[in-house]
Structure 1
Amino acid sequence: MKEVYKDYLFEKHILISEGMSEEKHVFETLFAMAHFFGVKITKGRELVHHGMEKELSKKFGENVPEPFYRGFPQSVRNLSAEELLFDQLLHYFNTYELGNFDETMHSVFEKDFKRAAFRENTDAQEFMIQTEEDAEDTIRAIVKDLLSSSRPLNERQYTLVLTFIRDHLDNIPDIASKNTCVRLLIDTKNISLADSLNLSDVMKIVDELNYRYYHNDNPKKLNIKNQDRKFLTALLDRMFQGDRCDICTCYEKKKLWNGFLHHIHYQPKNGEAEIFVRAMREKGNESVYSEFEKLMQENRCRDAAKLLQKKKGTSVLLRNMDYIISRMNREEEQTFLLEFPEDCSTLILLQLLFRYEGRQRKDERIFKFTQHNLMKVHYETPEESEKCQSRLTEEQVKEVGKMIRSKLIEKLRNRLGKVYIEHSMKNYALPLAENTSQEGFGVLSKGSRIPIDEGKKLRAFTYWEKVNDIDLSVFALTEDGDRREFSWRTMSRHKSGAITYSGDETSGYLGGSEYFDINLPEFKALYSEYRYLIFCDNVYSGTNFSKCFCKAGYMLRDLGDSGQVYEPKTVKSAYRINCESTFAYLFGIDLLKNEIIWLNIAKDSKSRVAGDTTLSFLTEYFHLTEIMNMYDFFSMMAEKIVEDPMKADVVVTNCEIECADEIEIIREYDFEKNQGTNGKCKIIVEGEVRCLK
């Protein structure tokens, strides 16, 4: 089985038994897996073989480089602030002034340190083992789920889908997401995939091709090779042969179309193509948005809303709701909300719910959007704020939010049968915007919360190869957004029993690592004014994460000074950072509630120093589960919530549970089931949510 399939299944807690001969040492192998990696096999024990030890070692981290301070954290606490600072200055001089990147250097002050043996009891990670045949069926189901989702895929999911489609070109499932369809069309050059797209989607194809293949994110400056010009020309010709020439929508990007047609020297081959080319090259703009804007300027808001809904669909109407409502008088607003369209999708309703029930900022607004699976953030300037005329009052926001929630409840009611829901699912957020996420073990939806048991010390880590200098940083944040930096720039001043840093590794091309130890009770006592901690990774060397190997995550342990710095059985999350960026947000900690808040965001940034970036836009993720979580969502859909999983049609849990084989089980990391179709239920998709029996 291909490595990409095995890696993906490992993230789902599934190991593969690949035609191994009968294993003689089953008990010994199971014991070793539990002892060294904290892995408990709950299903398929008869399939275990000794090669799985090596597999687990590889997945959880083998040969993880030791940090700058070998005795971390004990030896670090024994050094003075002056010694810590001198250590680092000497290290920087060697690497950056003398250019000594060849070998990892260590402290000149650190004394010999002998570690105590690691004997802590750790929580078991529950896994199952499948035969290769069963694993292939699982992969097929996962791919079908991913392709049935209208949401864009993250890089890991897309790689899985692309590999599967290349292996099974004769039987490609339906593709619900235009974003996914566009990428598959470009990478497979299977032009038949374009049959589910419209002519206006060609600009998405050009933009994606320009970025992925030519590393250019400016669609106004094209420099495409002849083979790709021929591909795009053939694509246009196919579009004009079908009934997909939506000229009205193409007007919205008329200038881009003009430049593109000129660049590929397009010659129309039929009458419809000639009409389109002439429309794009001549003066005038007949787009729906132009007509919409005219109606809004004439204060004909209801007509403008009806136009958008009819010509662009309910989703576009809802995304312009603030603008429309802000121009209406009270009577018009009430009528508009009462006549709220019935065909709105579950996904759009959920997005609007988070928009209107989320915490409203009283200062400048923050706009977040995603392009090429990287998050872009724009802070409203004072000039933009002054010009803005579409703000809603607090009363309007509450009223719209209340209406959205009632529509969502009405739409979801009784969509599933009997549902068993673990109470702990209240901690997990819905996977609505996961395309900026990195992949790996222990990855959750953004905003999910993981309780930290009392007395546990948290060790955040990152390790890497094929680049010299990656930095792990921590920022303490108040409720109001004030912050304090804990990083290579400041830690010589902040070193304490509350927070300990392993030292700044700057010559880690062959293997580097950095760690932070956080003693939560001591940190809260020492820095009582702060509510949150945010962990970040950045490539100081300036190379994108995609050009090197980098993993990050966290461990929980009782004794920070026992055992090795990196103990696989204490690892709760270890995921690969491979975004086309130098910056990634890892996770946060709610110091008041003693909970980890999952972030995992790849930011579109060339920042090489974490302290130069803003963090305030992250605060909305801290409250997502308060608005809607997995428990709330499945409760809305249940005809009846049952206490016995054996009597349920669907089980939603983060635990190993006994239930009948035919029962649908949905776990916190099953993004595919929560976004697409699997077995009995379609969950978050454009259109209806329904039970598929």
Structure 2
Amino acid sequence: MLDHVIIRKTLRVPRSEAPAGDGAAVARQLDAVLAGVGFTATRELLDHVSGLEPGAAMDLAVRAIGAVRGLVGDHVEHNAYFLDFPNGVPDTVEFWVSCLRELVGRPVDVLPGVVNLLDLPTYGRYRHTFAELLAAHDELVASAEDRVTVLHLGDTLAEETSALYLRLAGSPTPLGEGDLDLLAELARTCLDGAQPKAVPVRENRAVVNAARMAGGREPVAVDTVTDVLRLACRLSGGDVSLATPTRFRSFRRRERRVLLGALDRVVDGGEAKLGDVARHAGPWKRLGEGLHPHEYPRFPHAAEVFAVARGERTARSLAGRAEEAFYAGDVGRAAEILAVAPGMLLRSLDRLLRRSTEPSEVDSVLAAVESVIGSVSGRVLCSVREHLANRTTPDLARVFATRGRRAWVADDNRDPLPPEVVARAAALIDGELTTRLPTYAHLVVDPAMLDVALPLSGKASEDGFAVLPRGSRSRIDPEAGEVLRFFTYWRETARRTDFDLSALLLDEDFGYVGHVAWTNLAHDGAVHSGDITESADGATEFIDIPLSTIDAHCLVPQVNVYSGEGFDDVAESTFGWMTRGPAQAGAPFDPRTVRARSTLRGPGRVALPIAFTRDPDGSWSATWLHLHLPGDPAFNQVEGNHLNTTLLAKAILARRYLTTTHLLDLLRAKGVPTTTWTPTLHLDVPVTYLGLHPPDDLPEGSTTLTPDQLIPD
């Protein structure tokens, strides 16, 4: 339901238009239940519920509670294999021996000298109910440092739906898979409502145009042949990023006419547009077989696209012409050619500067950049600015991540760029960003945003609660509790599936210290909750880490697919972390202590969601990774991939990311007054608040920005 989605995405409860009445009792119940899951309602929201007819008030409360419980993972039961976890976890070998002792008189697959643990009748399956687990644990002792997230009253469902649609469609960055599907649903719902002034990201644009075509509307802002290819892929249920092949469906005559007409108009605007066809010749040839361009002689330019794809006509691409200049050693000419496509020029800036052996060549390249920089998207400018910040010295390793977050590592064999050249290029970009950044009357900044990496792509993150982009750092408040608890939950779709939660422990030089996993249930005070090997009704595994005593500098949790369905195939798959004090007790899972919870989706068989590092002052910070390793088809274990995991973590943690602090510094240089938000800050006039979740007491008329909205167009 859209209202659930809106609450989860915005923490705003759509205003009910039901009749007035006395819903005060429901409001009190709502307030109490929300407190039990780590949320609190604003006074405005409680007043709204109080003024509704009781039945309508209860409907609204149930929707709000269901949405926030699902957001933090409280919509399912989180049982633990060992009833008393984190106490009473046995030694690993002793536990396995006890399972073997229970074999007497029971059939099991036993080979000479080999026992399959998964066949042991008491291994890997819950031996108690969730109710019995709760009965074995005392209630959680509430702490003032437990998480409290504010839930706000929104506008009507129609208004909130429209606002979310406009925000996603107008996003300056590509959306993740989940948000792309949500955008498609919202575009269909809002077809007759307000439309975005622009959809800057072409993948997002294809999704919006597919919804428009399904509703009988014409596509908009189609200005390259690849836009048409993306649109055809989306209409066929395929990948708009073009990273994976799409099997095109049979198009209706109207759809063929619209697609061919769009192609014809693009190519009629300039034959140079045909230069992009060869990059995707295969998909174009398959698409031509379904569009039947020969049946539409009124679109002659569209037919040229398929002639190029089949090799019947040659169309030189911009990249090909630039490569000829590179091959001839004419860097200035290469920059001049690429300047026709400003985004491509900026993306090629590192290579151009590396090939510039004379000061005059550097001058030519930077002059070309300066002449077109005003036409480059803000996201590309920020991406290149981040890239330059890491180019004066060789990287420890080059980390490559696909759109599906699958990662691999290579040596950095590039020559570093001279610091003075980097400084000149960075100054050009910073100057353009400063010009584009809006002027705010008063900007109030949540300090938790300062180390958030700018979300330059939704593909570098996951859906969830308090999830930040790859490279973002969050300080773990030492007052929140000295026990860090990871958890993973999964539920299989059709066949028995075994995920395994593990934690790799590394020293200051990223050397191996130890690990905690199903094969090693305890290490230096860290404790595993026990191995669950099937998940028809859902399964959860936990790991407790005592931060104050653990002999490690870096903790890298990982989730391994040991057997069965992968992350993209299971019905549900999530990772999260909690903090609590040892005296708080409570069941292994309590929503009030959940600090973040992320979905796990991707093509790999090993997930690396986050890493935790010890800061110089002894406190700890979390850095989001959002990476997947390919792994093996089955039997993945932390022992088998710790070298790759270590190298990835080391490279990610050493990289300098472009954070919101950089844009805030540019705003301050521009004269924008900024204030750091604290719970005691008193504000009398409306402000612009930069943060993931606004506080309860912002003055009326205030607006909220999230880091993605800070990126200039």
Report the alpha carbon displacement of residue 391 of structure 1 after superposing the two structures with TM. 3.1
> Which letter does structure 2 place at the counterpart of 1:127?
V
CA distance in 1, matches of 2:625, 2:228: 31
CA distance in 2, matches of 1:434, 1:213: 15
Say if 1:429 and 1:628, in contact at 8 Å, map to a contact too: yes
SS at match of 1:427: coil
Report the alpha carbon displacement of residue 557 of structure 1 after superposing the two structures with TM. 0.9
CA distance in 1, matches of 2:450, 2:243: 39
Number of aligned positions between the proteins = 647
Residues 404 and 215 of structure 1, relative CA distance in 2, 3 Å threshold: closer
Report the alpha carbon displacement of residue 606 of structure 1 after superposing the two structures with TM. 6.0
Match of 2:112 in 1: none
Match of 1:601 in 2: 626
Report the alpha carbon displacement of residue 318 of structure 1 after superposing the two structures with TM. 1.2
CA distance in 1, matches of 2:465, 2:401: 26
Match of 2:464 in 1: 440
> Which letter does structure 1 place at the counterpart of 2:352?
I
- Asked if 1:636 is matched to 2:666, the reply is yes
Report the alpha carbon displacement of residue 518 of structure 1 after superposing the two structures with TM. 0.8
2:699 to 633, 636, 660: 660
Match of 2:689 in 1: 651
CA distance in 2, matches of 1:534, 1:362: 24
CA distance in 1, matches of 2:167, 2:241: 30
Q: CA RMSD in A?
A: 3.9
1:193 to 211, 219, 241: 219
Report the alpha carbon displacement of residue 512 of structure 1 after superposing the two structures with TM. 0.9
Match of 1:82 in 2: 93
Report the alpha carbon displacement of residue 412 of structure 1 after superposing the two structures with TM. 4.7
Kindly report which structure 2 residues correspond to 1:26-105, keeping only aligned pairs within 5 A, or say none: 28-29=28-29, 32-33=32-33, 35-43=35-43, 44-48=45-49, 49=57, 52=61, 54-55=65-66, 56-60=68-72, 61-76=74-89, 79-86=90-97, 96-97=118-119, 104-105=126-127
> Which letter does structure 1 place at the counterpart of 2:13?
L
Q: Which deviates further from its counterpart, 333-342 or 158-167?
A: 333-342
CA distance in 2, matches of 1:580, 1:259: 25
Q: Which deviates further from its counterpart, 141-150 or 336-345?
A: 336-345
Say if 1:199 and 1:236, in contact at 8 Å, map to a contact too: no
2:337 to 285, 297, 307: 307
Match of 1:411 in 2: 435
Query: TM-score when scaled to structure 1?
Result: 0.81
Residues 160 and 224 of structure 1, relative CA distance in 2, 3 Å threshold: closer
Residues 218 and 121 of structure 1, relative CA distance in 2, 3 Å threshold: closer
Match of 1:679 in 2: none
Residues 572 and 228 of structure 1, relative CA distance in 2, 3 Å threshold: farther
SS at match of 2:469: coil
Residues 97 and 16 of structure 1, relative CA distance in 2, 3 Å threshold: same
Query: TM-score when scaled to structure 2?
Result: 0.79
1:347 to 379, 383, 397: 379
CA distance in 2, matches of 1:266, 1:291: 29
CA distance in 1, matches of 2:230, 2:259: 13
Report the alpha carbon displacement of residue 439 of structure 1 after superposing the two structures with TM. 1.6
> Which letter does structure 1 place at the counterpart of 2:594?
V
SS at match of 2:459: coil
Say if 1:447 and 1:623, in contact at 8 Å, map to a contact too: no
SS at match of 1:272: helix
Percent identity (aligned): 18
Say if 2:466 and 2:595, in contact at 8 Å, map to a contact too: yes
> Which letter does structure 2 place at the counterpart of 1:319?
R
CA distance in 2, matches of 1:640, 1:117: 48
Match of 1:163 in 2: 185
Say if 2:230 and 2:242, in contact at 8 Å, map to a contact too: no
CA distance in 2, matches of 1:400, 1:82: 61
Kindly report which structure 2 residues correspond to 1:180-579, keeping only aligned pairs within 5 A, or say none: 180-186=204-210, 189-190=213-214, 192-193=218-219, 195-205=221-231, 212=238, 219=245, 223-227=247-251, 231=255, 234-241=258-265, 243=268, 246-254=273-281, 256-258=283-285, 260-261=287-288, 266-267=293-294, 269=297, 270-280=299-309, 281-282=311-312, 284-310=314-340, 312=341, 314-336=342-364, 338-339=366-367, 340-341=369-370, 342-343=373-374, 344-358=376-390, 362=394, 365-371=397-403, 374-380=404-410, 391-393=415-417, 395=419, 398-399=422-423, 402-403=426-427, 406-408=430-432, 410-412=434-436, 415-454=439-478, 455-466=481-492, 468-478=497-507, 480-483=509-512, 486-488=515-517, 490-492=519-521, 494-497=522-525, 499-523=526-550, 526-527=551-552, 531-547=553-569, 548-559=571-582, 562-579=585-602
Match of 2:54 in 1: none
Say if 2:332 and 2:364, in contact at 8 Å, map to a contact too: yes
Say if 2:442 and 2:673, in contact at 8 Å, map to a contact too: yes
CA distance in 1, matches of 2:253, 2:127: 51
Match of 1:678 in 2: none
Report the alpha carbon displacement of residue 449 of structure 1 after superposing the two structures with TM. 2.5
CA distance in 1, matches of 2:6, 2:301: 45
Say if 2:448 and 2:474, in contact at 8 Å, map to a contact too: no
> Which letter does structure 2 place at the counterpart of 1:119?
V
1:175 to 188, 199, 221: 199
Residues 471 and 229 of structure 1, relative CA distance in 2, 3 Å threshold: farther
Residues 483 and 134 of structure 1, relative CA distance in 2, 3 Å threshold: farther
CA distance in 1, matches of 2:133, 2:608: 34
> Which letter does structure 2 place at the counterpart of 1:297?
Y
- Structure 1, unpaired ranges of 5+: 676-682, 687-693
Report the alpha carbon displacement of residue 158 of structure 1 after superposing the two structures with TM. 2.2
Report the alpha carbon displacement of residue 482 of structure 1 after superposing the two structures with TM. 3.7
Match of 1:148 in 2: 170
Report the alpha carbon displacement of residue 501 of structure 1 after superposing the two structures with TM. 0.5
CA distance in 1, matches of 2:460, 2:674: 35
Say if 1:597 and 1:622, in contact at 8 Å, map to a contact too: no
Task: Spell out, residue by residue over 1:404-449, the C-alpha distance to the aligned partner (whole angstroms, 9 max, x if none).
Answer: 5643564356633332334443233322222342222222233333
Say if 1:240 and 1:273, in contact at 8 Å, map to a contact too: yes
Match of 1:689 in 2: none
Report the alpha carbon displacement of residue 564 of structure 1 after superposing the two structures with TM. 1.0
Match of 1:9 in 2: 7
Residues 130 and 205 of structure 1, relative CA distance in 2, 3 Å threshold: same
> Which letter does structure 2 place at the counterpart of 1:458?
L
Report the alpha carbon displacement of residue 156 of structure 1 after superposing the two structures with TM. 3.1
Residues 213 and 354 of structure 1, relative CA distance in 2, 3 Å threshold: closer
SS at match of 2:582: coil
SS at match of 2:84: coil
Residues 276 and 424 of structure 1, relative CA distance in 2, 3 Å threshold: closer
Say if 2:86 and 2:529, in contact at 8 Å, map to a contact too: yes
CA distance in 1, matches of 2:249, 2:626: 33
> Which letter does structure 2 place at the counterpart of 1:278?
A
Task: Spell out, residue by residue over 1:144-188, the C-alpha distance to the aligned partner (whole angstroms, 9 max, x if none).
Answer: 122112311123322332222211222343422110122344566
SS at match of 1:521: coil
Residues 273 and 225 of structure 1, relative CA distance in 2, 3 Å threshold: closer
Say if 1:581 and 1:605, in contact at 8 Å, map to a contact too: yes
CA distance in 2, matches of 1:606, 1:227: 38
Residues 645 and 353 of structure 1, relative CA distance in 2, 3 Å threshold: farther
Task: Spell out, residue by residue over 1:61-94, the C-alpha distance to the aligned partner (whole angstroms, 9 max, x if none).
Answer: 1441311111111111xx2342234467889978
Task: Spell out, residue by residue over 1:19-57, the C-alpha distance to the aligned partner (whole angstroms, 9 max, x if none).
Answer: 485324257425523552232222422134556365254
Residues 319 and 480 of structure 1, relative CA distance in 2, 3 Å threshold: farther
> Which letter does structure 2 place at the counterpart of 1:629?
T
Residues 189 and 436 of structure 1, relative CA distance in 2, 3 Å threshold: farther
Residues 151 and 380 of structure 1, relative CA distance in 2, 3 Å threshold: same
- Structure 2, unpaired ranges of 5+: 50-56, 110-114, 676-681
SS at match of 2:704: strand
SS at match of 1:463: strand
Say if 2:141 and 2:584, in contact at 8 Å, map to a contact too: no
Report the alpha carbon displacement of residue 559 of structure 1 after superposing the two structures with TM. 1.9
Say if 1:438 and 1:602, in contact at 8 Å, map to a contact too: no
